[in-house]
Structure 1
Amino acid sequence: MSQCCQPRPPPTSLENRQAANRTTALIVPALLIGIVGYVTWVVVVLIGTNYLIQHGGRNGTGIAIIVLYFMFFFPMTISYLRLLMTIPHPGYIEKGSSTAATPVRPAKEAPPQHNIQASCTSTKVQDGTNQSADKKYTSTPQEPAVTLLDTKAILSGELPPPSGTERFYSRDVFACDQNGLPIWCGVCNNWKPDRSHHGSDVGRCVLKMDHFCPWVGGVVGERNFNFFVQFCSYAGIYALFVMIVMAIFVAEARSRGNSPGGNWVAGVTLGAVFTLFAGGMAMTSIGLALKNLTTIDNIGHQRRVMHIAVLVDSAQHRQPRPMSTDHVKPTHGSEDDEDPWQGTITYPLTVMPDASSETTLPPPSSSPPRTFAILRTHPGMNPWNLGAFRNFKSIMGNHWYDWFLPLRHSPCCNHDRGDSMYELGPDVERLKTDAGLSSSSSRGGPSRRKHRKHRHRREDSEDVDIMGSTLANVNGSTGRERNSFESA
């Protein structure tokens, strides 16, 4: 009884924002529909019917304006309704339970924590710090509880990872953190697929989340971004037509010495405002589609780096980069000149026999081992950049009629590929070359061996794995096995 009488804690700023977003998602679409209805009345009734046909005797002009109006009105309306249908399912990632996270051993000492940005999606990744059991990380009272993984214990085999890693290492390339693990969302308690982002406005991770849009009442993500582009484009053209028509007849009324009514002026104003707003959004969104970026990806894109795990097969081995003026680092160093190689990791992760007994998680998979090279991308690199036209087709559709008809989801929504969740661009191969990964068949031969004599010999300390002996224990690698990836 005493618990029921306790006052409820005041809502945080995040909870207030989420509540405001829910309210906005209901009000703004209704307001937008009301504005379009009002503009329809002004253009069709006041201008086309009353002013031109009934009082002006210009039947042809009035009918033409009414017909053209609905030619622009219907595509905008259909694309908007199609967009509203997808708002409940923009590409949400399933949320895990709080028990899905790996339990954390109590620490003898509490080392400092570091938040590391490890991909093009915002996330908080722990660098191996042990935390007390069932402890949640909260930086401020306004932020939700964040579950941090004991990365060091997972990599050393002391604790099993949360289930779901097989969805990543079954592919040849996936986005990872600096340790080679898939990126963990401590709010959703689940691994984040490639290119997903946690939207604090809705409290969910979304595939290729672009932004939260109050005009459509929800999140614009992978499954509705193409419909959003179509709606903004049609809305911009529609608003431009309304602005031009209303401006012409407002100017005509003033030239005849008549004062245009307030509805006419309001029609011009609304047309101008929505031409700038919708047209600007359409141009921005099309520009992002040509680059295969989202609005979130584009923030600080030129400086952003991420990590990707690339499968290394038996026919590949690592070569040191050649000694040339193109690769000589300046005195203070530059991220563009840094070696992408960060180490290796082998899946399934090795788990000690007594580790699974401390958790309720299922035992590790018995899949054959797959070794991945952990590569750090160059600043501004987009691994999924296919070129402008192919980028556009991956989002808007493979056929020209898909670009205009809001019927099908984007081709990038199909994740049945075996190599990666999304089609990879040529920059990935160049990154592998920069990291020294090459096929033995293409790098063999006397001429290549002769050229290697002029290559720069790197110190062993520059090629060690980022987790040191911990990661070496996970891979079970010996000195001879490391030589298969590093040149002596």
Structure 2
Amino acid sequence: MSRATSPRPASPPDSESTTAGPSPPDQPQEVDATTLLDINRGNRPSRASLVSAFVVPVLVIGQAAWATYVVCYQLAHQRLMKRDKQMGAGYAVIVLQALFIFMAGVTYMRLIQVIYTDPGLLPLGMSRAKPEDGGNDDMKAVMKRWSEKRSIIQHTTPEDARTREELFKELAAHNQRQAELRMEALKSFRPKDMFIVAPDGLPRWCKTCETFKPDRTHHCSDLGRCVRRMDHFCPWVGGIVSETTTKFFVQFLFYAMLLCIFMLATTITLFKRDNDRYGQRNPQLIALLVLSGVYTLFTVGMFQNSMWMLAKNFTTIEQRQFGMPLHLAVRISPDWYAGNVDHLSCYMVVSFASAPGEKWAIFQTDPRAKLWDLGGAYANVCQVLGKRVWEWVLPVTYSPCAKPADDVSEYPFGPAALAVTQNVQAPK
């Protein structure tokens, strides 16, 4: 753990953060199952992303259907069974192709079904969830104008002072509104025992969705929404890879990889036989050879990278941000201030009126700390794929990490984060 940015006093500091508001509800707010139509009614997503999310899966399905036709008819039936009289080899190729294409297709359909029905989106804030209240286009409109007028600010002249002043007034008004919304949302905020906060000690806030972001939640610009345990937006599968879809995404990659390897090996074998025995080079075999080769490289690389990140309990975003310190809030005991606290490395103490009598110490983590690494590759993989073998291979149940969170933390913390709790016990 990093050292404190400022020494800890032996009594509560004057700058201790507090928030006012009623007690939190008895149950934490549940994540709604939001469809793409709901996304459109909220913050508007990228039109190009939605188009690619529809077009690319159609192209992938079309290519898979054509490849299956070539393997089963052109290779197995026409060459192995009819021309070379190798009935057993022909049937084996057809059966294996059918098995791999079936499993790849089932996992693909399951993945797309979850993407469209329960993509793991965070509910919008109150003003965003009710467009009729007039608060649905503030962020988009202001940030769009900021992007268009940024050069005006940088290259303004005395004659342009009015334009510059109007823009900054608009941005100041927007920032003031965001601060008011954030403080209002704190009245019903339900803090966990341990959770990631902003450097100011308050929960992380999304200005676009106007809501607090739980741990591992990030805003997806392609969808215009915050996504729980967001990994990345993938046009190949038609949408977002998140806490609800990562398991099915990995399963699809596995079966797609087996399918591509099988087609590549079969095509190479029969293409070489045709060339050596008959001097034939069928254009469809050449096309299938190229297509299966490209997709084999792609799926093998994607599956290997996905399994590596599962073993480390990383998402794509967290991998890119690795090396940046985070700020961890840890619930402390009521008598925490008693005795000598010089050994503690926290730099702030916060409290929330929605949790009366409770306090949280804020720590800055080591930049390379793996907070969600559970201490072993198997435990990390099981958090996404499940603990039973059939859960690893069949796209039926959701990931364990997609289950409702408890009061301890949004997702299980690993040893690197749990070590912090040893520093906040009241001295004896």
SS of the counterpart of 1:251?
helix
Higher helix share: 2
Q: Is the 8 A contact 2:44 2:224 kept in 1?
A: no
Q: What displacement does 1:300 show?
A: 3.5
Q: What displacement does 1:61 show?
A: 0.8
Is 1:21 paired with 2:49? yes
Identify the structure with bigger relative contact order (alpha carbons < 8 Å, sequence gap 6+).
Answer: 2
In the superposition, relative to structure 1, how do residues 35 and 99 fare at CA in structure 2: closer, same or farther (>3 Å)? closer
Identity of aligned residues (%): 32
Q: Distance in 1 between matches of 2:388 and 2:256?
A: 22
Is 1:189 paired with 2:210? yes
Match of 2:367 among 379, 390, 412: 379
What is the aligned partner in structure 1 of residue 316 from structure 2? 295
For residues 161-172 of structure 1, the aligned pairs below 5 Å read: 161-163=183-185, 166-169=188-191, 171-172=192-193
In the superposition, relative to structure 1, how do residues 180 and 29 fare at CA in structure 2: closer, same or farther (>3 Å)? same
TM-score under structure 2 normalisation? 0.76
SS of the counterpart of 1:236?
helix
What is the aligned partner in structure 2 of residue 68 from structure 1? 96
For residues 42-441 of structure 1, the aligned pairs below 5 Å read: 42-88=70-116, 89-98=118-127, 139-141=146-148, 148=175, 161-163=183-185, 166-169=188-191, 171-301=192-322, 303-314=323-334, 316=336, 319-321=341-343, 340-348=345-353, 365=354, 367-387=355-375, 388-433=377-422, 436-440=423-427
Q: Distance in 1 between matches of 2:149 and 2:233?
A: 19
In the superposition, relative to structure 1, how do residues 90 and 341 fare at CA in structure 2: closer, same or farther (>3 Å)? same
Q: Is the 8 A contact 1:179 1:374 kept in 2?
A: no
Q: Is the 8 A contact 1:292 1:391 kept in 2?
A: yes
TM-score under structure 1 normalisation? 0.67
In the superposition, relative to structure 1, how do residues 64 and 165 fare at CA in structure 2: closer, same or farther (>3 Å)? farther
Task: Tell me the amino acid that sits aligned with residue 332 of structure 2.
Answer: V
Q: Distance in 2 between matches of 1:254 and 1:16?
A: 54
Q: Deviations over 1:110-144 (max 9, x none)?
A: xxxxxxxxxxxxxxxxxxxxxxxxx956642399x
Q: Distance in 1 between matches of 2:209 and 2:331?
A: 27
Give ranges in structure 1 of 5+ residues lacking alignment. 1-14, 101-134, 322-338, 349-364, 445-488
Q: Deviations over 1:54-77 (max 9, x none)?
A: 121111110111111112111111
Task: Tell me the amino acid that sits aligned with residue 119 of structure 2.
Answer: P
Q: Is the 8 A contact 1:48 1:62 kept in 2?
A: yes
SS of the counterpart of 1:87?
helix
Q: Is the 8 A contact 1:243 1:272 kept in 2?
A: yes
In the superposition, relative to structure 1, how do residues 82 and 48 fare at CA in structure 2: closer, same or farther (>3 Å)? same
In the superposition, relative to structure 1, how do residues 83 and 142 fare at CA in structure 2: closer, same or farther (>3 Å)? farther
Q: Is the 8 A contact 1:48 1:66 kept in 2?
A: yes
Q: Is the 8 A contact 1:340 1:378 kept in 2?
A: no
In the superposition, relative to structure 1, how do residues 279 and 82 fare at CA in structure 2: closer, same or farther (>3 Å)? same
Q: What displacement does 1:21 show?
A: 1.1
Task: Tell me the amino acid that sits aligned with residue 437 of structure 1.
Answer: V
Task: Tell me the amino acid that sits aligned with residue 59 of structure 1.
Answer: M
Q: What displacement does 1:319 show?
A: 3.1
What is the aligned partner in structure 1 of residue 18 from structure 2? none
Q: Is the 8 A contact 1:18 1:202 kept in 2?
A: yes
Q: What displacement does 1:168 show?
A: 3.7
Q: Deviations over 1:152-184 (max 9, x none)?
A: x88xxxx98132564442x21111111211111
Task: Tell me the amino acid that sits aligned with residue 63 of structure 2.
Answer: I
In the superposition, relative to structure 1, how do residues 98 and 175 fare at CA in structure 2: closer, same or farther (>3 Å)? same
